[in-house]
A and B are shown apart, each in its own frame.
Chain A
Amino acid sequence: MPRLQTAADLEKLRTEILAARDPAKSCIAVCAGAACDGMDSAAVAAAFVAEAGKLGDKIEVRPTGCHGYCEKGPNVVVTPGDICYFEVQPTDVPEIIAATLQGEVVERLVYKDPNTGAKAVHMHEVPFYKHQMRLLIGDNPKIDPMRIDDYLAVGGYAALVKALTEMTPEQVLDEVKKANLRGRGGGGFPAGSKWETTRNAPEKTKYVIVNGHEGESAAFMDRAMLTGNPHKVLEGLIIGAYAIGAQKGFMYTRHDMPLLEKHVRQALAQAKEYGLLGKNILGSGFDFECELHFDVGIFVSGESSALMRSIEGNPPEPRPKYIRTSVSGIWDKPSNLNNVETWANVPQIITRGAEWFTSIGSEKSKGTKLISLSGNVVNSGVVEVPMGTPLRTLVFDIGGGVRDGKTLKAIHFGGAMGGSIPADLIDAPLDFDGMSKLGAPIGAGGLLLMDEDTDMVEVARYLMDFLTQESCGKCVPCREGMQQMLHILTRLTEGEGKAGDLERLEDLVEVTGAASLCALGKTSGDPLKSMFRYFKPEYEARISDQAAGGSAAK
C-alpha cells in the first residue's frame, strides 16, 4: 500500500473500500475480547472460518474486539440485522451458517429474558444493549482490529482529516475545551486545560501519551477499547498531538495481554504504512511518530509521573516534584498524558462538534462513560452510558440486578482506591463530582456490585491487600501506612480486633492520605473512608465481639 499523500487520497481510498463491500452480504462477527477469548471464542471463530470457507465467498467471518456482553460469551453478531447469538459453541456453527444463508434466526441461541422468557433477536432489543449509548465501543463488532480498512470503512480518520485540513491547532484545542472533555482515567480533570498547559510550555519538544495501563481492579474497559479498536485511540492521539504541538507520542500499555500488543503493534505499523504517522501526515506538514511501551507489572506504573519515569527507562517511581508533568514530564519535556478512553473521545468531538458532545451527559460531566460491570451482577461486561445515567439503570436495566435473587447491599466504584456506597443511594447519577461527594468516585470506571452476604471488612481488607502489594515502597506513609492498615484489617476479619483498632485505622487513613507522595498512597484509604461513613457498625461489631470474648461474625 503506497503512502497516502493527501486528505483526498484518504477519502478516495475510503470510497474504494466501501465500494468493494456489499452491505447486503452477511458478516459474522465473533468476539475475541478478553472474556470471550477465555471461553475459547477462537475455536468458534475457527469453526466459522472453516464452515464459511466451504461456501466460497458468500459469508464473511470477522474476528473482532470486545462486544461488551462478557457474561454471555462467546458473543456472535450477524449483520445485516445485528442478530445477537450468545454462548456460542463450535458445534452451533453449522446451524448458524445455514440459518444465515436462509435469512433465518437460530432461536435457541438468541437472548432469552431469565424472568419472562421473552426473546430478543436484534442488538437494539437486548436489554443489556438497549439502555446503552455506545458511541465509543459500538464500532467494535464492525471492526477486525488487525485491519485498518475496517476502521476506515466506519469513517475512521475522518476527524484527523478534518483537523489537519480545516482547522488550526488552536481551533482543535478550543473545540476540545468547549466540549468540556474530562479525563476518563480517574481524576476527571478537563483534558483541554491539560492540553493547553503542555501547548503553552516553552519547551519545543513535547510528548503525548496514551495511558493504557489500566491496573485498577475490576476495570477492564480500556483494554476492550484499545484491543478492539486501536485506531480510534490512535486517531485521537494524533489529533491531540497536532493541537498540542507534540512531535512524538507513546502508547503505554499492559505487558501481559498478547492480543492487545498484537493489535496495537499492527495498528501502529498500518498507520505508518498509510502515512497517518510519520513525516508530513496527509500533506499537512505535520510530523508525528508513536512508540509502543509496556508497563513493568505494578499498579503504580500507571500513575502518570511513574509511567513517565518508566518510559525514560527508570524504575516506575512517582516523581516527587511539585511541577506538573504537563510542563515537565518525560526527560523534563512537557508531556500530556490522557487515558485510553479520553483519547478515544477526541475524534467524535472533532467530527461532530463540541455542541453535540455537550448535549450528552450531565451538567458538569459530558459525553458517555465506559463502565466495567462486575461483582454479584447478573450481566457482567463492558457498558457505555451517557454521564448522568442513574446507577439504577446500570445495575438493574443493563446489569440485570443482583445474582441468584439476592438483595443489593453496596455499590463499589473506582477499584482499590474508590469507595462503597449503600444500596439506598442507587438513584445517584453517574457523575464525576456527584459520585466523589458520595465517597465513591468513578475512578476509571470499575463498578462492582456487592450482595447482602458481603462482608464489608473483608472488602476493605481485600482492596488494601491489593494496594499494599502494588505500592512502589518509596515513601513511608504509603509503604508503612498501608501495611499497618492491612495488619489491622486482617486481624479484624480473623476475629482478633483490639480496642483502639478503629482509631488506629482512622489515623492511618488520615496521614496516608495527607502525606503520601503520589495518588496511590493518597487515595489508598478512600475505600475505608467510605466504609466508616456508611458501614461503620460492621467494623465496630468486630471490636466489641472480641471485647465480649466472642468470635467475630463471619
Chain B
Amino acid sequence: MSEIVLTIDDQEVKATAGMTVLQAAQQAGITIPTLCHHEKLEAFGGCRLCMVEVESRGWTSYVVSCLYPVAKDIVVRTRSEKVDKIRKVLVEELMAHAPDSPELVKLAEEYGADRNRFEREASFCIVCGLCVRYCNEVKQKNAVGFIDNGPLREIRFIPEVAARECWDCQECFALCPTSYAQAAYLLTEALAFPGQRKTAAPAAKTPARAARVIPIMPVPVTT
C-alpha cells in the first residue's frame, strides 16, 4: 500500500491509498463530526455533517470526508466559516425533527445552532439509516428498511421479519441517535404481531451507545 501525505488542519497526515479523508483524520486524532457514519458499515454520505473544505490543485471544494478518498498533497480544513455554517444549518434542520437528541444538542452547542429555527416536523426520525444499514450489512436480516422518498422517506420494520428476528437482537436501538428505531419497532409489534414475539433472553447490547437504550420489559398482552 502506497503511503500518501496530505495536510489536515495545518497538520501533515500520513494515510494509505484507498482511505477516506475521515479515516485519515481519525487516525491522526482529528475529530470530524458524523451522524450517519459507523465503522462497521459502508460509508453512506447521507447526513453531510462530515463535510470539509478541500483544496486541490488550486481549487477549493466542499466534500463529505466519509467518502472523499485521500490524495497526495491535498489540503483539508475541517473547520472554516463555510463548513461551520453548513453544519449549523444541517443541525438546525435535523432539530426540527429531534430537538432533544443528545447528539444533536451537543452539535448545536458546538456550531451555534438554534433548535427552534425551522418549523417542527412530525417525525423524530432523522433518517440517518443506521438501523436499516446495520440490519442489512451486519445482521443481514433486513428487518427494517426505507420506504418512500423525499421528505416522506421513513424507516419501517417489516412485521414478518421483525416478529422473528428483532426481539433477540435489538442492536439497532443502540445505534439510533433519536431512539426512533426502538419506537418504530414497538409500534410495529403492537400493531402487527402483539404477543407473538419470541421471548428468548435479550441479546447483548452494542456497547457504544448502550447507556441510552431504554430497556424493554416483556409486556403481557391481553387479547
Contact = CB atoms under 8 A, between A and B. Distances in A.
Given A504-B117, A517-B45, A511 B150 contact: no
Bin the interface of chain A by size: 20 to 34
Contacts of A487: 118-119
B93 A476 contact: yes
Nearest to A469: B150
A475 B82 contact: no
A511 B152 contact: no
Interface string A510-522: 1100111100000
Given A472-B150, A473-B152, A515 B48 contact: yes
B45 A471 contact: no
Interface in B48-77: 48-49, 51, 62-64, 67-69
A43 interface: no
A50 B149 CA distance: 49
A482 B96 CA distance: 13
B67 A320 contact: yes
A146 to B, nearest CB: 35
Interface in A495-550: 504, 507-508, 510-511, 514-517
Given A320-B64, A469-B150, A477-B90, 17 more contacts: A471-B151, A472-B149, A473-B127, A473-B151, A479-B127, A480-B90, A480-B151, A483-B150, A483-B151, A487-B119, A510-B89, A511-B85, A514-B82, A515-B51, A515-B62, A515-B90, A516-B48
B86 A515 contact: yes
Contacts of B119: 484, 487-488
A476 B104 CA distance: 14
Nearest to B36: A476
Contacts of B46: 474-476, 517
Given A471-B149, A472-B150, A473-B150, A484 B96 contact: yes
B149 A298 contact: yes
B43 interface: yes
B160 interface: no
Interface residues of B, number: 37
A480 B93 CA distance: 6
Contacts of A437: none
A470 interface: yes
Contacts of B69: 322
A54 interface: no
Nearest to A296: B149
Nearest to B152: A473
A516 B89 CA distance: 12
Given A471-B151, A504-B117, A320 B45 contact: yes
Interface of A: 298, 300, 320-322, 468-477, 479-484, 487-488, 504, 507-508, 510-511, 514-517
Q: Which 5 A-B pairs have the closest CB atoms?
A: A473-B153, A320-B45, A480-B93, A471-B150, A511-B89
Contacts of B96: 480, 484
Interface of B: 43-49, 51, 62-64, 67-69, 82, 85-86, 89-90, 93-94, 96-97, 117-119, 121, 126-127, 129, 146, 148-153
A302 B65 CA distance: 26
Nearest to A480: B93
B34 to A, nearest CB: 12
Nearest to A500: B117
Contacts of A476: 46-49, 90, 93-94, 126-127
26 contacts: A321-B67, A322-B63, A322-B67, A322-B68, A322-B69, A470-B150, A472-B153, A473-B146, A473-B148, A473-B151, A473-B153, A475-B45, A475-B47, A476-B90, A479-B153, A480-B90, A480-B94, A480-B151, A483-B121, A483-B150, A484-B93, A484-B119, A504-B118, A514-B51, A515-B86, A517-B48
Given A320-B43, A483-B121, A475 B48 contact: yes
A537 to B, nearest CB: 25
Task: State the main secondary structure of chain A at its contact with B.
Answer: helix
A152 to B, nearest CB: 43
Contact of B118 (A300, A479, A484, A514): A484
B86 to A, nearest CB: 5
Contacts of B47: 475-476
B50 to A, nearest CB: 10
Contacts of A510: 85, 89
Contacts of A516: 48
Given A322-B67, A475-B48, A508 B89 contact: yes
Contacts of A300: 149
A487 B151 CA distance: 12
A536 B46 CA distance: 32
A314 to B, nearest CB: 12
Contacts of B127: 473, 476, 479
A471 B153 CA distance: 10
B149 A473 contact: yes
A479 B151 CA distance: 5
A88 to B, nearest CB: 42
Contacts of B149: 298, 300, 470-473
Nearest to A508: B89
Contacts of B49: 476
Given A484-B118, A511-B85, A320 B44 contact: yes
A479 B67 CA distance: 20
Nearest to B54: A322
A477 B62 CA distance: 14
Given A320-B45, A484-B93, A514-B86, A468 B63 contact: no
Contacts of A468: 150-151
Contacts of A474: 44, 46, 129, 153
B153 to A, nearest CB: 3
A511 B113 CA distance: 14
Contacts of A322: 63, 67-69
Nearest to B89: A511
Contacts of A517: 45-46, 48, 64
Contacts of B51: 514-515
Given A473-B153, A517-B45, A511 B86 contact: yes
A504 to B, nearest CB: 7
Which of A469, A487, A507, A515 has the most chain B CB within a 10 Å cutoff? A515
Contacts of A504: 117-118
A477 B126 CA distance: 12
Nearest to A322: B68
A516 B46 CA distance: 9
A474 B82 CA distance: 22
Contacts of A480: 90, 93-94, 96-97, 151
A478 to B, nearest CB: 8
Contacts of B45: 320, 475, 517
A397 B96 CA distance: 50
B70 to A, nearest CB: 11
Residue of B48, B64, B97, B129 with highest tally of chain A CB at under 10 A: B48
B48 A477 contact: yes
B154 to A, nearest CB: 9
